[in-house]
Structure 1
Amino acid sequence: MKTFKILTLIALFISFTSCDKDKDEPTLIQVESKKVENLPAPQTGGHGQPISGEFTKFSFATGNITTSDTEWDIAFRSTTIIVNGGSSAGLTDEPARNGTAAGYVASGTMASVKEVTTSKFKQDAADGFAIPAGSGNGWYNYTGNPDHLIIPIPGKILVFKTRNGTYAKIEILSWYKDAPATPDRKTNEGRFYTFNYVYQPNEGVTTF
């Protein structure tokens, strides 16, 4: 009888300990994997003329374009991608930064980039963007004559810290409307992003 009581007490102790442990562990929100198609990134000017036009702002938390002055993570205009963190680069119509977003370009695939390297994060600044601008510097190559195409560089994944301190990664698939397999600048309209992204909504979790 004494042995039975001792075993019962041990079982109850283990049960209570397990319950307390379960209470201490937060319930994680599921990681989101989505595709964005034909996100517009218009620009006026260029080719020697002053460049202007509002940036198209995007929120990973909602998975949508936003017009909010504060609730955005990244923004697009033509080939330029900015983050809601850091300071202005001095572009016309550039939105004010009021978050803590940052970014970097990783080499790999969406499947192989499994974890954030926080030491690589940069924010926008007067001397450059977190995602470097220009052909061959960040996410795209410009082919030049005779095609004059903007082509995403294979194996380049853009990793972001959002304005709220969560994380996301994107793979840009196309810069042309409806993402043609073989774009032609004469027939395919540019400045429309199609990309896959994965959003880690749990604060402090650096894996995807």
Structure 2
Amino acid sequence: MLLSLFLSLFVFMACDPADEDEPQLPLVAEMVVDLSAPNDVIDRGTGQVVEEKPFQYYSLSENKLLSENESWDLAFKGTTIRTNAAKNVRATLVDGVFQEIKEVPETATFTLDTEAELAIPTGSGNGWYSYNPSTHAIKPIPGKVILLQTASGNYAKVEILSYYKGSPSDEELDPLTDEGATYTFQFVLQPNGTTKFE
């Protein structure tokens, strides 16, 4: 009798709904608006740096700026985006519509920043942006998405939406007066280590 009561209690406890896994909530894109990351001040006559500006270090998992010695994922300064090689953050660029990229492609090749080469290339047309020498406008290349393996080992996709404060439209943008090096971007972070973004 006592054994039967014990077994019944065990089955009841094992089937307690409170112990069941919570349903997974759908992943949503986070938006970071007007992250200021000014470039070094350069003397136009000599090309020399007259004032060095710091990188801005961003953690996707914490969705905030951190200090350089913490577990950040991306660092921004001017048009340069670095990854945290010290924390094994790897990146690659892929072509596609941000919302339609549902998982990390099997063919994606992630790389670390090195002294010789950045995982997210810089320079007009080389990575995430293009530069128009006539208007001096810097614009994200449509369909360029950054994939990351973050400091915590999870995967994320990132799309730069604007390089100017207030995200002016093409018609409104005046690169000579609008504040540049001010990032607006969206990202989706998969927190469970899988390669799927849904």
The two structures have a TM-score, normalised by structure 2, of 0.81
1:189 to 179, 186, 193: 179
Amino acid aligned to 1:187 = T
The Cα of 1:191 is off from its aligned counterpart by 0.6
Q: Kindly tell me: are residues 124 and 198 of structure 1, through their superposed partners in 2, closer, same or farther at Cα, counting changes over 3 Å?
A: same
Contact persistence 1:31–1:201 (CA under 8 A): no
Amino acid aligned to 1:43 = N
2:147 to 151, 159, 183: 159
User: Counterparts in 2 of 1:121-132, with a 5 A limit?
Assistant: 121-132=110-121
Contact persistence 1:32–1:200 (CA under 8 A): no
CA distance in 1, matches of 2:187, 2:149: 13
CA distance in 2, matches of 1:164, 1:29: 20
CA distance in 2, matches of 1:139, 1:107: 10
Contact persistence 1:139–1:152 (CA under 8 A): yes
User: Counterparts in 2 of 1:88-107, with a 5 A limit?
Assistant: 98-107=86-95
Residue in 2 aligned with 1:142?
Answer: 131
Q: What number of residue pairs does the alignment pair up?
A: 179
Residue in 1 aligned with 2:84?
Answer: 84
Amino acid aligned to 2:84 = N
Q: Kindly tell me: are residues 155 and 67 of structure 1, through their superposed partners in 2, closer, same or farther at Cα, counting changes over 3 Å?
A: same
**SS at 1:105 equivalent:** strand
CA displacement, residues 43-85 of structure 1 (integer Å, 9 cap, x when unaligned): 2233412373211010111111112512201110000000111
The two structures have a TM-score, normalised by structure 1, of 0.77
The Cα of 1:26 is off from its aligned counterpart by 8.7
Q: Kindly tell me: are residues 34 and 57 of structure 1, through their superposed partners in 2, closer, same or farther at Cα, counting changes over 3 Å?
A: same
Residue in 1 aligned with 2:31?
Answer: 35
CA distance in 1, matches of 2:187, 2:58: 12
Residue in 1 aligned with 2:163?
Answer: 175
Identity of aligned pairs, percent?
A: 38
CA displacement, residues 84-121 of structure 1 (integer Å, 9 cap, x when unaligned): 11xxxxxxxxxxxx201010111001122111146510
Residue in 2 aligned with 1:8?
Answer: none
CA RMSD after TM alignment: 2.6
Structure 2 residue ranges without an equivalent (≥5): 1-7
**SS at 1:120 equivalent:** coil
**SS at 1:111 equivalent:** helix
